[in-house]
Structure 1
């Protein structure tokens, strides 16, 4: 095997043209082909790419402008909504305040009406009680007078059927009785002071 490797090593060691360097004719043909391809691409393909790029850039800028317009419109609508919401809240607060005031006025009016009605009922009851009291006193005086004259007639032993005289006696007795009651009522009040 060592013998078979020797001819390969000898071939690689020989001096000659560099295998990495192209031949001059190949280099010239390659440069001409590259130049033709470059000018063709620049004349035909590059404008198409440039046009497409410009259209996409315009579409993007137009889309960005539309997006900015849409955002500005959305911001305007948001501000309008907030203003309407603030107006609605202030209106609701005003309505609540009006309702509170009306409620307070209704309550005050109802209270005033109830107090007036209570005073009227109390005055009517007081007047009715006073009338009943006077009627009871009149009836009582008549009965007390009749009983007193009958009793006095039995005690004295003679009839006191004279109406004028018996009425005077009864009225004087009742007046003395009322005076005695008034003086008895005044004594405890004076003792408390």
Structure 2
């Protein structure tokens, strides 16, 4: 090892000083320019994340409030639907009852009309039968007696009295005694 030579472990001093100055300048530039920008970006990112979280929480609360409102409206709609169904059932029952009353009234009216018509036809048949029975009985009596019974008013009175007695159930079979003029009735 010579006199002008330095040991290999010790660095060359001007290089060491120059490297240290450059390193310190580099640290100073990073500390003054880069680190504040990084911290600013970090803070912006953190605030954005916190703001996003706050917005998400707010959105979550709004969604839950909307869900509660929706469920309340759904419950109201179900209640309303149930009420409408009940009203419809009541109205249906009232309509059915009204239709039954109308049908019964119509049935009673038709039955009454039929009874009146039957009564009118029965009365008409009785009138026609009376006149026919009167004519036939007079004709039969004339044949039996052998003489004509021409007094129409008298014939009609006898026939009417006879038929009235039959209708009342008071008349029993009779026999005619005597001549043509004095046809006496003998009730048995």
Is the contact made by 1:145 and 1:170 (CA closer than 8 Å) also made in structure 2? no
Superposed displacement of residue 140, structure 1:
0.5
Shift of 1:119: 0.9
Match of 1:106 in 2: 95
2:10 & 2:126 partners in 1: Cα distance?
155
| 1:35 aligns to 2:24 (yes or no) | yes
What's the offset of the Cα at 1:28? 4.7
Alpha-carbon deviations, 1:143-177, whole Å to 9, x = none? 1122111112112212334333344445556777x
- The answer (yes or no) to whether the contact 2:134–2:159 under 8 Å persists in 1 is yes
Query: How far does residue 24 in structure 1 lie from its aligned partner after superposition?
Result: 4.2
Tell me which residue corresponds to 2:11: 23
Alpha-carbon separation, structure 1, partners of 2:53 and 2:69: 24
Q: Give the structure-1-normalised TM-score.
A: 0.70
Cα offset, 1:57, TM superposition = 0.8
8 Å contact kept, 1:153–1:159: yes
Shift in CA distance, 114/53, structure 1 to aligned 2, threshold 3 Å: same
Cα distance in structure 2, aligned partners of 1:174 and 1:30: 156
The CA distance in 2 between the partners of 1:58 and 1:172, in whole Å, is: 123
* Counterpart for residue 81 of structure 2: 92
Distance 1:77 1:174 in 2: 91
Alpha-carbon RMSD across the aligned residues, in angstroms, is 2.8
The TM-score normalised by the length of structure 2 is 0.71
Query: For residue 82 of structure 1, what is the aligned residue in structure 2?
Result: 71
1:71-90 Cα distance to aligned partner (Å, 9 max, x none): 21122112212211221232
1:70 aligns with 2:59: yes
Q: Distance between the aligned counterparts of 1:170 and 1:81, measured in 2?
A: 89
Which of 26, 46, 61 is the equivalent residue of 1:57?
A: 46
Aligned length: 161
1:148 and 2:141 correspond: no
Distance 1:34 1:49, change over 3 A: same
